[in-house]
Structure 1
Amino acid sequence: METEREIQARIAEVEAEQHRLRIRSVEIHGLDAEERARLKALEVELDRLWDQIRRFRAGAQDAEELRPVREVEGYLQ
């Protein structure tokens, strides 16, 4: 079972990796296909982690698990 603190730590790790990739993209004028795919995967992972935090704080019984990508990415804003 993950705690909110563990989820927040993972969010920090993902955000740090995102930041490194974005800095790299500026320094070398773009990313290769693999790096762009990784950046997109990190964005999706962040969406899922923040969804998990919101459910955790709301006391949802299923908050221990990440929701499927298609469910989280399908939210209307």
Structure 2
Amino acid sequence: MKELLKRIVMALCAGYILFYYSELVFWANYHPVEMVLPDLLFTYLLYSIVTYALFSVIATFKVGSIWSYGHYF
């Protein structure tokens, strides 16, 4: 349970970082009509879900480094 909570919190934090730099910084033009809070929260949660899935894949396959796949071929 503690590990699941830790992974969720990490995914929410990393999802926010990805959301901030890819949506708010990259698309730096402020449009109040397009940037409503529900849309921003939905986008943030999508980034967090994708981040959680990535963390789950990394934990499942026990990836230690970028070169970890070399043992299987």
Report if TM-score (shorter chain) is over 0.5: no
What TM-score results when the alignment is normalised by the length of structure 1? Answer: 0.42
Considering only CA atoms, is the larger Rg found in Structure 1 or Structure 2? 2
What TM-score results when the alignment is normalised by the length of structure 2? Answer: 0.44
The structure showing larger relative contact order (alpha-carbon pairs under 8 Å, at least 6 residues apart) is 2
